[in-house]
């Protein structure tokens, strides 16, 4: 019975194997074949991984060796820029108007600041900063071009030593030597020299050259116009650091190149004298050599203290200047546009002579007013009783309005406009300062375009005495008067006399 059952089981197993192709789990031949396949797959995988690994090693150590060496050096080496000494500004006699001097600033490298919020909180505590100071710090953070944050300027060693007690709260701060600017005639020369300030994003979209490592640039005046001469060339130090970012040695050093000294045409004694003449007044005085265009005095009164800006002016002081009714920040000599008044009468007289409209003996009667046809209102002279009969010479000497009313009526606005252009009215003189205004020399075309109105005869009479729409800058008047004084010889007004490169002793004279 058992034998019969065993035979039946064997037959079932055989039928199952024939049907499924299964040969059992203890077939040694099949096992050896299976292990061989697995071994080949494992070898292939290991070989592939080895090739990938070797390729990566080749890429890192041979193909991109310089790249990864540079990255490694970046972790080990810190490059610190050295700001150059800015050149001096001097008057024509060699008197220093602006110079640089060393001072100490507390700064923090942006790369060392992990949390801006925590940094600002600790900076406020350690340095006792107010809200205005924090706003300035925020602005420095936003300026992506700046690599360091200036926390405090012009500090002494003693002051930094006291602050160092709390350096555990603000480990990012460090003391560095910085070059600052000093102005010897801060108000008298303010609209000439201008001032320097911290590099901002807007400075990168101008004609001035921004060099790597530069943190201070000229903002206005000569400091701005001759920035590329005055600034010099920054240097650098390659510093080796350890794992804690502490400096352990200097690997390489390239010294900064000092900026050139710039000499101006200004006579500082005459400038100070002219400035004092305008005491308690708002106005401008320009003294110009008509033979070569040298500006000897260039006064806009009142001025402002440029040293406040060089040190970093506070919001309070800046608002005070902005709100001052006397407008000390306005450069009246360059940007002030005013009706020229009787100062243009000699130019109209000269034009009328050249065009044959009058001669030296031509006489007009002045009874105190001039009546223009179809105008109800008479055009009055400044002298109520009039000047009686006047020719060009006496009309200029007495500034007779009626004479020039009559002259303007005969000449007409078209000729007056065209001829006055030759004296430089209505256009820039191209003095070496930024921001010069054009003034306004009106014409029919100008009024039609700007006011959509025709030109009226009465407006011509007003132009004849330098009133109405006519606007000129003090600099334009000085330039035009120079043309008269030189007999028509044209020169370009300028403040630059020469520059001297103290490193190479190269001299550049005005051309």
Active-site positions read 342
β-bridge mates for residue 89, sequence order: 98, 262
Measure the CA–CA gap between 467 and 345, rounded to whole angstroms.
11
Measure the CA–CA gap between 20 and 24, rounded to whole angstroms.
11
Residue ranges with strand state E in 156-234: 173-183, 196-198, 216-218
Question: In this structure, what token pair is assigned to residue 344?
Answer: 């243009």
Nearest to 387 by CA among 405, 375, 409, 373: 405
**Are residues 441 and 421 in contact, defined by beta-carbon separation less than 8 angstroms?**
yes
Contacts of 134 (CB under 8 A, 6+ apart): 120, 124
Cβ atoms < 10 Å from Cβ of 326: 13
The separation between CA 26 and the C-alpha centre of its own chain, rounded to angstroms, equals: 89
Helix (H, G, I), strand (E, B) or coil at 35: helix
Sign of CA dihedral 17, 23, 25, 26: positive
Nearest to 409 by CA among 456, 354, 363: 456
Q: Report the interhelical angle of 474-485 vs 345-354 (nearest 10°).
A: 40
Q: Which residue has the tokens 């592939």?
A: 48
- The full length of the chain comes to 511
Nearest to 226 by CA among 213, 217, 216: 217
């Amino acid at each position: 019975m058992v034998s019969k059952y065993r035979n039946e089981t064997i037959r079932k197993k055989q039928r199952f194997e024939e049907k499924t192709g299964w040969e059992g789990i203890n077939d040694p031949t099949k096992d050896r074949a299976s292990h061989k396949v697995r071994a080949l797959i494992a070898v292939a995988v290991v070989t592939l991984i080895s090739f990938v690994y070797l390729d990566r090693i080749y890429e890192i150590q041979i193909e991109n060796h310089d790249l990864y060496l540079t990255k490694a050096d970046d972790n080990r080496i810190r490059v610190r820029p050295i700001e150059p000494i800015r050149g001096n500004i001097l008057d024509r006699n060699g008197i220093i108007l602006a110079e640089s001097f060393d001072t100490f600033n507390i700064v923090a490298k942006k790369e060392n600041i992990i949390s801006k919020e925590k940094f600002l909180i600790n900076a406020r505590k350690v340095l006792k900063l107010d809200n205005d100071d924090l706003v300035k710090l925020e602005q420095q953070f936003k300026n992506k071009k700046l690599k360091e944050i200036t926390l405090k300027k012009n500090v002494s060693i003693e002051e930094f030593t006291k602050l160092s007690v709390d350096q555990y709260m603000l480990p990012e701060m460090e003391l560095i030597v910085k070059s600052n600017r000093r102005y010897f005639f801060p108000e008298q020369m303010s609209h000439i020299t201008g001032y320097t300030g911290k590099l901002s994003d807007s400075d990168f979209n101008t004609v001035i050259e921004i060099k790597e490592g530069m943190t201070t640039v000229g903002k206005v005046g000569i400091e701005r116009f001759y920035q590329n001469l005055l600034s010099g060339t920054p240097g650098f130090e390659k510093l080796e650091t350890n794992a804690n970012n502490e400096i352990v040695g200097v690997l390489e050093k390239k010294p900064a190149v000092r900026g050139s000294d710039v000499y101006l045409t200004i006579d500082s004694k005459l400038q100070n004298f002219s400035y004092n003449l305008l005491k308690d007044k708002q106005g401008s005085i320009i003294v110009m050599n008509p033979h070569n265009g040298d500006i000897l005095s260039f006064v806009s009164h009142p001025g402002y203290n440029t040293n406040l800006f060089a040190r970093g002016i506070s919001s309070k002081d800046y608002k005070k200047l902005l709100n001052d009714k006397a407008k000390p920040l306005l450069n009246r000599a360059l940007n002030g546009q005013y009706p020229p008044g009787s100062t243009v009468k000699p130019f109209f007289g000269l034009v009328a002579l050249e065009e044959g409209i009058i001669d030296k003996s031509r006489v007009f009667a002045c009874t105190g007013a001039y009546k223009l046809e179809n105008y109800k209102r008479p055009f009055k002279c400044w002298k109520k009783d009039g000047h009686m009969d006047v020719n060009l010479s006496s009309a200029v000497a007495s500034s007779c309005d009626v004479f020039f009313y009559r002259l303007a009526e005969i000449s007409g606005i078209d000729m007056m406009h065209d001829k006055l252009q030759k004296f430089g009215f209505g256009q820039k003189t191209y003095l070496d300062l930024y921001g010069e205004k054009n003034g306004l020399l009106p014409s029919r075309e100008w009024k039609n375009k700007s006011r959509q109105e025709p030109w009226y005869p009465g407006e011509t009479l007003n132009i004849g005495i330098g009133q109405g729409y006519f606007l000129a800058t003090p600099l334009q008047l000085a330039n035009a008067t120079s043309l008269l004084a030189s007999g028509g010889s044209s020169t370009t007004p300028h403040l630059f006399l020469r520059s001297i490169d103290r490193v190479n002793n190269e001299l550049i004279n005005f051309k």
